[in-house]
A and B are shown apart, each in its own frame.
Chain A
Amino acid sequence: MAGPAQSRFVSQLKRYYALYTGGFIGFVVLLSILEQMGVPNKILGYIFLGVTVLLYAGIGILSRTSDVAEYYVAGRRVPAFFNGMAVGADWMSAASFIGLAGTLYLSGYDGLAFVLGWTGGFVLVALLLAPYLRKFGQFTIPDFLGARYGGNIPRSIGVFAAILCSFTYVIAQIYGVGLITSRFTGLDFGVGVFVGLGSILVCSFLGGMRAVTWTQVAQYIILIVAYMIPVIWLSVKHTGNPIPQIAYGYVLEKVTAREQVLNDPTTPEGAREAEVRAIFKQRETAAEDKLKALDAGGATYLAQEKERLVKAGTDLKTKHETDPRQLETANRAVADFPADVAAARSAWRQEAETDKVKSGPIMAHAEPFAGPTEKVRDNKRKNFMALVLCLMVGTAALPHILMRFYTTTSVTESRKSVFWALFFISLLYLTAPALAVLAKYDVYTLLVGSSFSELPSWVSAWASVDKSLMSVTDINHDGIVQLSEVTIGGDLIVLATPEIAGLPYVITALVAAGGLAAALSTADGLMLTISNSLSHDVYYKMIDPKAPTSRRLYISKALLLVVAVFAAYITSLKPGDILFLVGAAFSLAASAFFPALALGVFWRRANKTGAIVGMLGGLGTCMYYMYITYPFFGVNDSLWWDINPISAGIFGIPVGFLGIIVGSLLTAPPGKEIQEMIDHVRYPNL
């Protein structure tokens, strides 16, 4: 790449994206004027999501290409700064954008494992992988395994693992797309999935990596603006300081002081909290009693219980002055009554668990690994560390991220681009903990203690939209909100922040667009990874190495369609637990790829046999542990050393390393050709 041409390209890019950012801000301003003029919220939501999706499709059409290097690696001329933004968007998924602040709100210090894990992994990427992969300079991650270890077996295992972890991850993203579009436009979930998928396809189908790159830069700008504006506003509201990251230390102190008041039954507010908690304690005991009776009486007991409820309902009806609400509650209790013993057991178990949490004292936000006994605390600490490690190593092994470092112009640029990537990612990850604390402050001081007849408007608005996100019930009938009477779903925090901060609806729509950008950009990168693994690694490298360029691209695009439709189909089945999918993807990638990639660069002696043993062993261990421990699979075996299934990689990673070391030492060292390849990747210029 000639110097002057590249620097012209960079300044052109800067001009385009500056114009784009300005245009986008103008668009938001225009919509807020429309809002003032009385355009209904629903229309604003449609315009907002419609325009951004069309924008991404437009970039896709402008970047269409039929050149192999453009299609697979964006022509290897993406400047470090812009690649950083693209990695940022590729990296930050719906889980980061919408879920993270909520997780931090709900679990306080312990949620910081995600903040650490999802940023610290880039240190590993920078030091151990990115520059070497760039020097290697092929197209996919299985390419590296194929060249470094020789033969098709390591490559095939790589393809299998890449597809496995990318596919579990992409389901979670498409699910997020469907959720956001359906919530903000009122369209059906399935239609939402279809619209989102359409925009992903237009983009990657026509222009491959090139289109995905330039769309991801555009998506990063939208998502970061959307995340920051409401938090800055909230920070000004509570502290007068527009930099939330600095200001929230002071707010955290106040939250901690507030927690102590609410937990102290000698204060008037603490006494009311204690009253509500006592009611939950009673409910918990009642649920436990029912469970015991169920174990003893089985189906007979269940029938008796149901009869009792039905009778209570009829009694109410025959009485004269029945409160209609009471009647409704009684009827619902009959309608919701579990159908069989198994359903009753799980429903009542859950009831008892929820009541148990509600009957306990308020958890201190800033306290690490809080728990009643030393054993519980140690356990939490151990799992915190394990999760951080799995997320970090997983970050440094997810193929859709590593692939992005093939697109820079040089080794030097790839190192710089990890820096920019981490910088842009940290902007969001430094803000999320601040948002959690600011929102908590709002709830603890403004919502708690307010009267049920005058709830803040955002509370009643969200409570009417979705009970699982926000619900307040006057448990002790004193007309005043106690903290234990409030139930908040994690996703609410980001979605409701604009309203908590008192911002117009346009900002809410902006946040939705930001969430959509986060989900779409990640889905883009993942789908491309999957279809490239199939077309490049399987078809071109293993089936037909003489295939002409046009056929390679044609196959690649056809596979993209198949993968997209298949992913949408699986998503439409709504496979329950999203966190399960995301967590699984990280542990799987960490166990399968990281040892083989890192030792491939840093240990000359690592050979083909070692790589096969290590990758299969690591992946196998990880999958086995998930299978026996995740409730999803129904085996529910006991945990190893109390490690939660989300951190299955903690067993897979060492097995992977051990497998490579033992397997390599037992067989002959790699030959001269591979030694030369190792030298080639180690030195930027040899």
Chain B
Amino acid sequence: MQLTEKHKQYWKKNSRLTAWLLVIWFVATFVIGWYARELQSITILGFPFPFYIDAQGALLVYVILVGYYAYRMDQLDREFDVHEDDN
């Protein structure tokens, strides 16, 4: 089947969303981890900041990222009329 302009736009939006979420994933995991020693003096809820991020914060970010992706893609599917049959 020939892809329409609308289809191409859907894929572009999907790719952009994916890329942005991956950037957040990367920062939460690797950028904060890399500077962990420098961030050690900040305290949050009694935890040193990097320890909190790697033991809890990042995990919560991951759950939210995946949840948001599912929600947003569902919207995009409908907006661009590529959603599966409702049943």
> Which A residues fall within an 8 A CB radius of B?
1-3, 6, 109, 112, 115-116, 119-120, 122-123, 126-128, 131, 245-246, 249-250, 252-253, 366-369, 377, 381, 384-385, 388-389, 392, 410-412, 415-416, 418-419, 422-423, 426, 429-430, 433, 602, 676, 679, 682-686
Closest partner residue, chain A, to B19 (CB atom): A127
Contacts A112-B54, A131-B73, A249-B46; is A422 near B85 (CB within 8 Å)?
no
Q: Which residues of A contact B83 (CB under 8 A)?
A: 412, 684-685
Within 8 A of A (CB), among B28-87: 29-30, 33-34, 36-37, 40, 44-48, 50-52, 54-56, 58-60, 62-63, 65-67, 69-70, 73-74, 77, 82-87
**Chain B interface residue count: which class?**
35 or more
Nearest Cβ distance between residue A532 and chain B, in whole angstroms? 26
Q: Which residues of B contact A412 (CB under 8 A)?
A: 70, 73-74, 77, 83-84
Contact status B82-A683, CB under 8 Å: yes
Q: Which residues of A contact B7 (CB under 8 A)?
A: 679, 683, 686
Contact status B70-A419, CB under 8 Å: yes
Closest partner residue, chain A, to B2 (CB atom): A679
Contact status A368-B46, CB under 8 Å: no
The number of inter-chain residue pairs (CB within 8 angstroms) is: 142
Q: Which residues of B contact A126 (CB under 8 A)?
A: 65-66, 69-70
Nearest Cβ distance between residue A119 and chain B, in whole angstroms? 5
Contact status A415-B70, CB under 8 Å: yes
Contacts A127-B21, A684-B84; is A388 near B29 (CB within 8 Å)?
yes
Complex CA–CA separation, A569 to B81 (angstroms): 54
Contacts A2-B87, A367-B40, A368-B37; is A128 near B18 (CB within 8 Å)?
yes
Contacts A419-B66, A685-B83, A685-B84; is A388 near B33 (CB within 8 Å)?
yes
Q: Which residues of B contact A602 (CB under 8 A)?
A: 15
The residue that B54 contacts in the complex, of A116, A131, A389, A682, with Cβ under 8 A, is A116
Contacts A122-B62, A127-B18; is A368 near B70 (CB within 8 Å)?
no
Complex CA–CA separation, A411 to B14 (angstroms): 14
Closest partner residue, chain A, to B67 (CB atom): A419
13 residue pairs A–B, Cβ–Cβ below 8 Å: A112-B55, A116-B29, A120-B62, A127-B65, A246-B45, A367-B40, A381-B36, A385-B34, A412-B70, A433-B55, A682-B14, A685-B82, A686-B7
Q: Which residues of B contact A246 (CB under 8 A)?
A: 45
Contact status A366-B84, CB under 8 Å: no
Question: Which residue, of B10, B59, B67, B77, has the highest number of chain A Cβ atoms within 10 A?
Answer: B59
Q: Which residues of A contact B60 (CB under 8 A)?
A: 426
Question: Which residue, of A116, A128, A392, A430, has the highest number of chain B Cβ atoms within 10 A?
Answer: A116
